[in-house]
A = this chain, B = another copy of it.
Amino acid sequence: MTEPKMPDAAATTEPAKKHSRSGKSHATIYDIAKVAGVNPSTVSRALSKPGRVSAKTQKLIEDAAAELNYQVNPFARALPTGRTNTFGLIVADITNPTFFDIIRGAETTATLRDYTLVLAESAESGVTELTAARRMMATVDGLILASPRMDDDDIRAIARDKPVVVINREVDGVPCVVPDVNKGISEAVRSLAANGHHKVAFVAGPPQSWMSARRWEGVQAACEWSRLEAVRLESAKPTVDGGRQVARDVRASGATAVLTYNDLLAIGLMQELQAAGMVVPDQISIVGFDDIFGADFTTPPLTTVRSPLGECGSGAATLLLDLLHDDLPRSAGEPAPTLRVETELVLRGSSGRLLPAG
C-alpha cells in the first residue's frame, strides 16, 4: 500500500528465482552501517537500545534502515540474547471450543505486545503434553499451559527452565490463572433450589482435571448450603459423545437437575435425554460450565456457569509477558502470582422449574 515503489527489474529478467535466500535478500545492519557511515554496532544500539546513541546518529540510522527496508533477523538476534519474542500455548484439545476463546485471548495479547504465538496440542495426554512442552522450550521465551494434564512436578520442572503460566489449574509455585468457581456455582445451585429441585447430579470430567475436582467441590459445598442432595457421576470423555453416554446414569440417579463438568457434556446429555422423550427443563434441568461457543444454539439454549475464557487467555499472556519483562518483581519467598477471574451463571432455557409429573 504505502510502501515505496522500487524498481522490479529483477522480476522480469530472472526467470524463476525460487525463494532464493541469496540475491538481494534482506538488508542487514552492516548494510545500514555502510549507508549511514557508522559502525554496525552503533546501528545495533540505535535499533535496540533507545537513548544509547545521539539523536543525530539515531536519525541517520533510522533513515538508512527505512530506505533499505530493513527488518531484524530474529534468529540472529535470538542467538546471542536467547530471547525470541515468542511464547507457546499448549492446549489439551484444539477441537474443544473451550480453548478457542483462550487461544484467541492469548493471540490477541501476543500480537498487541509484539509477540508471536506458537500453538501446540496435547491430545488430552500428559506425556504428549510434556513432549510438546519440551519441544517448544527451545524456541519460546515462555509457555502457557491451558488445562494441563501432566502432573505438578513436571510443570514445575518446566517452570524452572522458562517462565510458565498455567490456566485452569493451580500449581504451587507457578503463576496461574483460574476462574473462581464459587460465585457461578452458588448462583446456579441457588437457582435450582429456588425452582424446587432436591437432588442434583454432577457429571465429572477427566480424573486428572484439576478443574473438574474444583467444580465438584463447589457443587458439593453449594448443595450443602442449600440443603440439596448432590451425587457424582463419571463420564468417559468430556465431549458431546461422553455426554450422550452418561445419560443412562443420569436417569438412573433420580436427580432432577444436572450440572456437568463442561458444556460439551451438557449438550450431549441434553440431546440424548431429549431423544428419549424427556422434556428439558420441565422434567430435568441441565446446567453446563464454560459458556462455550454454541452453548446457545441448543433448544432450549443451555444454562451454564460462564468462565471468562478469553479473559483467561489474555490474562495469562499478560502475566507471562510481564514476567518476561520483569515488570512483576518477585522476591524469593513470595508465592507465585495468581490471577483469579469471576464466574457467573448464565441463565438460559435448559434449567428451570420442575413440572409435576403428569
Contact = CB atoms under 8 A, between A and B. Distances in A.
A236 to B, nearest CB: 20
B107 A100 contact: no
A127 B297 contact: no
A174 to B, nearest CB: 13
A94 B107 CA distance: 9
A47 interface: no
B94 A84 contact: no
Protomer copies:
2
Given A15-B332, A16-B332, A76-B79, A118 B121 contact: no
A119 B94 contact: no
A208 interface: no
Interface size, A (range): 35 or more
A127 B95 contact: no
Interface in A123-145: 127, 130, 132, 135-136, 138-139
Interface in A11-59: 11, 15-16, 19, 21
Interface stretch (A67-75, A181-189, A196-204, A338-346): A67-75
Contacts of A226: none
A293 B107 contact: no
Contacts of A75: 75, 78-79, 84, 139
B104 A95 contact: yes
Contact of A297 (B130, B132, B294): B294
A199 B318 CA distance: 52
Contacts of A94: 100, 103-104, 107
Contacts of A308: none
Given A19-B161, A97-B100, 12 more contacts: A16-B332, A19-B162, A19-B163, A94-B104, A95-B100, A95-B104, A97-B293, A107-B120, A107-B121, A108-B121, A117-B120, A293-B293
Interface of A: 1, 11, 15-16, 19, 21, 71-76, 78-79, 82, 84, 86, 94-95, 97, 100-101, 103-104, 107-108, 111, 116-121, 127, 130, 132, 135-136, 138-139, 160-163, 267, 293-294, 297-299, 332
